[in-house]
Amino acid sequence: MTYKILLIEDDNNISTFITTILDANGYEPLLARNGKEAMALVSSSCPDLVLLDMGLPDMDGMKILQFIRQWSSLPVIVVSARTRERDKVEALDAGADDYITKPFGSSELLARIRTALRHANPSNHDSGPYSSTFVCGDFSIDYDKHRVKVGEKEIHLTQSEYKMVSLLCQNAGKVLTYDFISKQIWGPYNCEDNQKLRVNMANIRRKIEPNPAVPEYIFTEVGVGYRMRDY
């Protein structure tokens, strides 16, 4: 599985430059050329990270940043020609994870992306503050490699399934509500009907649980949500 990165940029030269870099380094780039497209894609495509230009043709990038932060902790790196300290502080205070000013080099961009993705994957508290893995019994997840295993068997999950499992592991021991999980995975406009969530969870359990009818790893809190075992 590869990280999906949404680039929100209206300049053709810059968008071509960045998407080429992302593609060449194993990322899956998505492109939105204005705010309207960006809001639709960030809600529907489940990106792992957003690269956000502030100067868009139909709205200021701050509106998109505020929109994302209403419902998600999705990593957002601002990529902007605005170099004033005030602009940087405003974006960071509004929830941006990082701020890169144009022009920039490909190595710097990739390093910032790696850092933001690493920070977006909280570690298992038993594995040290900077661990990239979570281990619980025979179950393990490697956030950096997007790899899930039960024992020595590698489990193949869809993008949505992986995001659900990763989210639960990052909050192991906590009950996450159906609504919270749905918004984190599919965005704020996801239908309130939890059928999609239940179908994905049923598929996950068939893949990771020895007996899906008697879960050992992911438990259902009836009428509330799901909880990942933390020991």
* Top-confidence residue, 150 or 2: 150
CB-based contact 158:15 (threshold 8 Å): no
Q: Which among 62, 39, 6, 13 is positioned nearest to 188, based on CA atoms?
A: 39
pLDDT of residue 51: 97
| Rounded CA separation 149/140 (Å) | 5
* Locus of tokens 């709205």: 59
pLDDT of residue 189: 66
Decide which of 119, 136, 166 is a domain's last residue: 119
Total domain count, the chain: 2
DSSP codes joined into one string, 167-201: HHHHTTTSEEEHHHHHHHHH-TTS-S--HHHHHHH
Decide which of 70, 85, 119 is a domain's last residue: 119
Query: Where is average pLDDT lowest: 49-58, 81-90, 212-221?
Result: 81-90
Statement: residue 14 has pLDDT above 50:
yes
pLDDT of residue 193: 67
Residue 84 CB coordination number (10 Å)? 9
pLDDT of residue 124: 38
Statement: residue 93 has pLDDT above 60:
yes
Peptide bond into 47 cis (omega under 30): no
pLDDT of residue 207: 96
* Top-confidence residue, 71 or 31: 31
Range of the domain at 162: 125-228
Amino acid, res. 94: A
Task: Report helix, strand or coil for 101.
Answer: strand
Edge-first strand order for the sheet with 76-80 is 28-32, 4-8, 49-52, 76-80, 98-101
What is the DSSP pairing of strand 153-155 with strand 147-150? antiparallel
If asked whether residues 16 and 108 sit together in one domain, one would say yes
CATH number for the domain that contains residue 75: 3.40.50.2300
Model confidence at 121, pLDDT cuts 50, 70, 90, reads low
Statement: residue 122 has pLDDT above 70:
no
| Rounded CA separation 82/68 (Å) | 21
CB-based contact 76:87 (threshold 8 Å): no
- Report CA dihedral (144, 147, 148, 152) to the nearest 10 degrees: -120
* Top-confidence residue, 143 or 51: 51
If asked whether residues 110 and 142 sit together in one domain, one would say no
If asked whether residues 62 and 146 sit together in one domain, one would say no
pLDDT of residue 1: 59
CATH number for the domain that contains residue 209: 1.10.10.10
Q: What is the mean pLDDT of the chain?
A: 88
- What does the chain come to in residues? 231
Render pLDDT for 183-220 as a digit per residue (tens, 0 to 9): 888 877 666 668 889 999 999 999 999 999 999 999 99
Mean pLDDT of 46-63: 93
Residue 38 CB coordination number (10 Å)? 28
Render pLDDT for 123-177 as a digit per residue (tens, 0 to 9): 433 443 345 789 999 999 998 888 999 999 999 999 889 999 999 998 888 888 8
- Report CA dihedral (67, 75, 185, 171) to the nearest 10 degrees: -120
Statement: residue 48 has pLDDT above 70:
yes
